[in-house]
A and B are shown apart, each in its own frame.
Chain A
């Protein structure tokens, strides 16, 4: 699952984003965290080590001594899909409340201490996890561990604090979702794709339920889920195992097991037997786009090899400009401005597979959809070639090396993967499992999961638009503002 909410936007843009060479139309995937364990492997596997504290906290250490910076991330194994019915949004709302006062420190002191030494911090919530992180100089690691350990058990809240912060998350919902037609559509597509699993609910929550979240809900959530035995700490950067171990014992080691959240068993999907369509027409939309989605097992829920095959299928079908969809629709037929496929396999429970496209020139959305359907049908009927598989595989293996270039990225990959039911070994063996996928495996998962009669298709349309209408709008008018999207070289 890719939808991730952050506590704050770091960059402010004056008047719309700066321009891109080519705008892509991927409908509303707020995709900031890697989907899968795709991006990982250390050449020397001993570089990454892990251990447990007596209270059950799992600790992972990923050394990288290039710059005097360390990334400290606490991942709680709780997300919006763990919320009680009627309380949608509490996981994300609670993440905001974790920045308030504790028994030990006044509100804002932790943030002030981090800022004082030039550190960065933030937090984010997704369906399966909630994470808090700081990037600081190695000498400040003990300080951030002390404060992070403190708020794991000592948070104090009151009605005033809860009400004011609730207004903030309501504004966040208005910013992210209500102001954005494609985000509104994506929300309802999810609610249609998942019929029973709580992935059907938006991470930020439904407005009417968010408005009623209160102090009692927040405290109940804290008491139930914020405990060392329900978390993974990932420390990457300019540190070593011995230091992290000593500091972790000194700080987190003193936090008692506060609760036993138990096994994460959410309502699962029933058999699906219908083809569904969701559409939204909005006066703010001028360029139509479509998306088709299916349920597909995640890395955690799949049978051995299936997730890897689905990942490679999405790459070959529509993962890059070398893919079948891009080559046929964007290059050869010239019907699409953008088109592609993706696999969301990074969730604890059932994930999804999707294709998307938007027309260009005089082509219609119907033509784009038909073109993509034809590419899927071809793979279902004839499979993929050895050459295509080889190239896709190489791209994945290369991404493993590229991923090691970012210490924060590495911490995110390990944290998100370990919070969704996989292990360090799973991450490190991923390249081998990718190498083991055969062409038949890819055809088989396409046949098994890309079944049209179980798909959800969504259309984002102009107010008066129809899918088969030519996207021949009046010429775009001149004059656009240019807002500096960047700050100064400081």
Chain B
């Protein structure tokens, strides 16, 4: 049986089959701890390890004005001392246990993850519990990590594409927090104190903005008390600043003149939100236009037929407060204009006529079949997928429903999505030699 057939089958009989025989050998259980912490679990004993991933809504958009980089700096400090252990002791213990722990801030969330050997589970969870609940934010690690981040900022401050990116973001996002630098600036980082970090942690690490996913060699019964241990004592409610919707400034061109071997071109169009009923029509349209790695129209016209670029394509991006369709390529300076014209022509064609019936069929088959390959190939990948599904409120049965959601999209819906997104005059960024 081919995967797509199997998925249609599963979708039809979803109610009966879900718990007994999910089509993807991935059975998602919901575990709720005594204190009410929820997690999605995929139990799997193939490898004696456990991957846990969790996410707190908030992220860099929560950085106070003038303290840009706070969320990012905080994520560098969770393994730098917690509870009674200073930085050295904590890291030594983590190393002895053989667990890999990491934290990361993006614009909308702070995520954490840990990979541990099943046999060292309890020791690893103890350390994670300390990190999540009692990070110390000692001055010496703050200063060290801050300096490392500043060095990172400096290392790219003369890079023309970084400079251009900043200018473009400013033009695109205006005053919205998405336009700020999430790693901060030297000045903003220098203003951050221990108290800023402690307050940020308290406001952002709570129970009502938390999502948890666990994959690996652990049963629901074993997981339940661990959820309480790690997350059960966090504050009930997060204290988050409301973030407004980003209004992207389309219809403008940012040019950065710099003599470079290649000219890079970016074009930004409106996108659609994940929750929008038009999400899949737009997603399919993007796949046909520039999303497919070796199959899209842009790939064929720019690279395959003319050899103008190594990478050329488009990407549908959704975040909590914005959505956009972004087209990118980089080409030799003397053919940048030609390349830009080809992109514009392809986009206009898609806006006017949409895809063909054949293209739509191929795209659907790809998007249905690719899910397992793209999302389930390791326990970390499964854990990330579970976080994404929860974050977008897609439901535990989404993996089984997804094929049907894609297959029911009509050609007219895709054409409409193309018109809606691509008839907008885009924001354009061109970085390269002036004559182009």
Residues of A within 8 A of B (CB): 8-16, 18-23, 25, 64-69, 71, 99, 108, 111-112, 115-122, 135-137, 139-140, 163-172, 174-175, 178-179, 283-287, 289, 320-322, 330-331, 334, 337-338, 358-361, 391, 394-395, 398, 401-402, 404-409, 462, 471, 473, 475-484, 486-490
Which of chain B's residues have a CB closer than 8 A to the CB of A120?
293, 370, 373-374
Q: Is the CB–CB distance between B306 and A164 below 8 Å?
A: yes
Q: Is the CB–CB distance between B154 and A286 below 8 Å?
A: yes
Stretch at the interface among B176-184, B228-236, B343-351: B176-184
Q: Is the CB–CB distance between A68 and B331 below 8 Å?
A: no
Which of chain B's residues have a CB closer than 8 A to the CB of A394?
96, 98
A478 contact from B72, B162, B188, Cβ within 8 A: B188
A-B residue pair count with CB separations less than 8 angstroms: 345
- Nearest to A321 among chain B residues (CB) is B91
Q: Is the CB–CB distance between A284 and B160 below 8 Å?
A: yes
Which of chain A's residues have a CB closer than 8 A to the CB of B182?
18-19, 480, 482
Q: Is the CB–CB distance between B98 and A398 below 8 Å?
A: yes
Bound complex: CA A398 to CA B180 (Å): 39
Bound complex: CA A16 to CA B44 (Å): 37
A65 contact from B25, B98, B181, Cβ within 8 A: B25
Chain B interface: which size bin?
35 or more
Using known A-B contacts A14-B266, A118-B373, A488-B317, determine if residue A401 contacts B157 with beta carbons closer than 8 Å: no
B319 adjacent to chain A (CB < 8 Å): yes
Q: Is the CB–CB distance between B371 and A118 below 8 Å?
A: yes
Q: Is the CB–CB distance between B326 and A12 below 8 Å?
A: yes
Which of chain A's residues have a CB closer than 8 A to the CB of B150?
360, 476
Nearest-Cβ distance from residue A58 to partner chain B, whole angstroms: 24
Q: Is the CB–CB distance between A407 and B154 below 8 Å?
A: no
Pull 5 A–B residue pairs with CB atoms less than 8 Å apart, ordered by A.
A67-B377, A118-B367, A171-B332, A481-B169, A483-B165
Q: Is the CB–CB distance between A23 and B180 below 8 Å?
A: no
B251 adjacent to chain A (CB < 8 Å): no
Which of chain A's residues have a CB closer than 8 A to the CB of B147?
334, 337, 360-361
Which of chain B's residues have a CB closer than 8 A to the CB of A337?
147-148, 151-152
Bound complex: CA A108 to CA B293 (Å): 12
Which of chain B's residues have a CB closer than 8 A to the CB of A486?
106, 317
Q: Binding site of A, secondary structure by majority: helix, strand, loop or mixed?
A: loop
Nearest-Cβ distance from residue B426 to partner chain A, whole angstroms: 12
Which of chain A's residues have a CB closer than 8 A to the CB of B152?
20, 22-23, 287, 337
Which of chain A's residues have a CB closer than 8 A to the CB of B172?
481
Using known A-B contacts A171-B262, A405-B379, A478-B181, determine if residue A489 contacts B313 with beta carbons closer than 8 Å: no
Which of chain A's residues have a CB closer than 8 A to the CB of B173?
481-482
Q: Is the CB–CB distance between B388 and A476 below 8 Å?
A: no
- Nearest to B314 among chain A residues (CB) is A12
Q: Is the CB–CB distance between A175 and B330 below 8 Å?
A: yes
Q: Is the CB–CB distance between A137 and B3 below 8 Å?
A: yes
- Nearest to A137 among chain B residues (CB) is B3
Bound complex: CA A137 to CA B117 (Å): 29
Nearest-Cβ distance from residue A391 to partner chain B, whole angstroms: 6
A175 contact from B178, B279, B311, Cβ within 8 A: B311
B287-340 interface (Cβ within 8 A of A): 292-295, 303-311, 313-319, 323-324, 326, 328, 330-332
Which of chain B's residues have a CB closer than 8 A to the CB of A117?
2-4, 365-366, 369
Using known A-B contacts A22-B76, A287-B151, A360-B150, determine if residue A136 contacts B373 with beta carbons closer than 8 Å: yes
Q: Is the CB–CB distance between A67 and B362 below 8 Å?
A: no
B380 adjacent to chain A (CB < 8 Å): yes
Please provide the 10 A-B residue pairs with the shortest distance between their CB atoms, ordered closest to farther.
Answer: A481-B169, A118-B369, A23-B152, A167-B307, A15-B165, A480-B181, A337-B151, A118-B370, A287-B155, A19-B183
Which of chain B's residues have a CB closer than 8 A to the CB of A139?
1-3
Which of chain B's residues have a CB closer than 8 A to the CB of A20?
152, 183
A489 contact from B47, B183, B367, B394, Cβ within 8 A: B394
Bound complex: CA A117 to CA B341 (Å): 32
Bound complex: CA A334 to CA B148 (Å): 10
Q: Is the CB–CB distance between B372 and A67 below 8 Å?
A: yes
Using known A-B contacts A116-B366, A402-B115, A405-B47, determine if residue A175 contacts B305 with beta carbons closer than 8 Å: no
- Nearest to A116 among chain B residues (CB) is B365
Which of chain A's residues have a CB closer than 8 A to the CB of B223?
none
- Chain A proximity mask over B80-119: 1 for CB below 8 Å, otherwise 0: 0000000010011001101010011111000000010100
Which of chain A's residues have a CB closer than 8 A to the CB of B315?
11-12, 487
B144 contact from A12, A320, A330, A487, Cβ within 8 A: A330
Nearest-Cβ distance from residue A489 to partner chain B, whole angstroms: 4
Which of chain A's residues have a CB closer than 8 A to the CB of B149?
21-23
- Nearest to A462 among chain B residues (CB) is B158
Nearest-Cβ distance from residue B94 to partner chain A, whole angstroms: 9
Using known A-B contacts A15-B165, A117-B365, A168-B310, determine if residue A174 contacts B95 with beta carbons closer than 8 Å: no
Q: Is the CB–CB distance between B186 and A66 below 8 Å?
A: no
Q: Is the CB–CB distance between B155 and A172 below 8 Å?
A: no
Bound complex: CA A21 to CA B70 (Å): 10
- Nearest to A171 among chain B residues (CB) is B310
Bound complex: CA A19 to CA B107 (Å): 10
Residues of B within 8 A of A (CB): 1-4, 24-26, 44, 46-49, 51, 68, 72-73, 75-76, 88, 91-92, 95-96, 98, 100, 103-107, 115, 117, 144-145, 147-162, 164-170, 172-173, 178-183, 185-188, 260-262, 266, 268, 274, 279, 283, 292-295, 303-311, 313-319, 323-324, 326, 328, 330-332, 362, 365-374, 376-380, 382, 388-389, 391-392, 394, 429
Which of chain A's residues have a CB closer than 8 A to the CB of B429?
14-15
Q: Is the CB–CB distance between A137 and B372 below 8 Å?
A: yes
Bound complex: CA A483 to CA B164 (Å): 12
Bound complex: CA A111 to CA B294 (Å): 7
Nearest-Cβ distance from residue A243 to partner chain B, whole angstroms: 15
- Nearest to B107 among chain A residues (CB) is A482
Which of chain B's residues have a CB closer than 8 A to the CB of A408?
377-378
A15 contact from B169, B330, B365, Cβ within 8 A: B169
Nearest-Cβ distance from residue A75 to partner chain B, whole angstroms: 19
Bound complex: CA A334 to CA B429 (Å): 39
Bound complex: CA A361 to CA B180 (Å): 24
Using known A-B contacts A8-B294, A23-B149, A406-B377, determine if residue A482 contacts B76 with beta carbons closer than 8 Å: no
Which of chain A's residues have a CB closer than 8 A to the CB of B156?
16, 286
A477 contact from B88, B157, B304, Cβ within 8 A: B157
Q: Is the CB–CB distance between B378 and A407 below 8 Å?
A: yes
Which of chain B's residues have a CB closer than 8 A to the CB of A18?
106, 182
B292 contact from A68, A115, A478, Cβ within 8 A: A115
- Nearest to A289 among chain B residues (CB) is B155
A284 contact from B159, B181, B185, B188, Cβ within 8 A: B159
Bound complex: CA A86 to CA B122 (Å): 59
Extra A-B contacts (8), CB below 8 Å, given A8-B294, A174-B332, A488-B317: A117-B4, A164-B305, A286-B154, A286-B155, A358-B155, A401-B48, A462-B158, A479-B166
- Nearest to B183 among chain A residues (CB) is A19
- Nearest to B172 among chain A residues (CB) is A481
Using known A-B contacts A286-B156, A484-B317, determine if residue A10 contacts B293 with beta carbons closer than 8 Å: yes
Bound complex: CA A141 to CA B362 (Å): 19
Which of chain B's residues have a CB closer than 8 A to the CB of A488?
274, 279, 283, 316-318, 323
Bound complex: CA A488 to CA B286 (Å): 11
Which of chain B's residues have a CB closer than 8 A to the CB of A483?
165, 169, 326
The residue in A12, A13, A64, A480 that gathers the most chain B C-beta atoms within 10 A of its C-beta is A480
Which of chain B's residues have a CB closer than 8 A to the CB of A122?
293
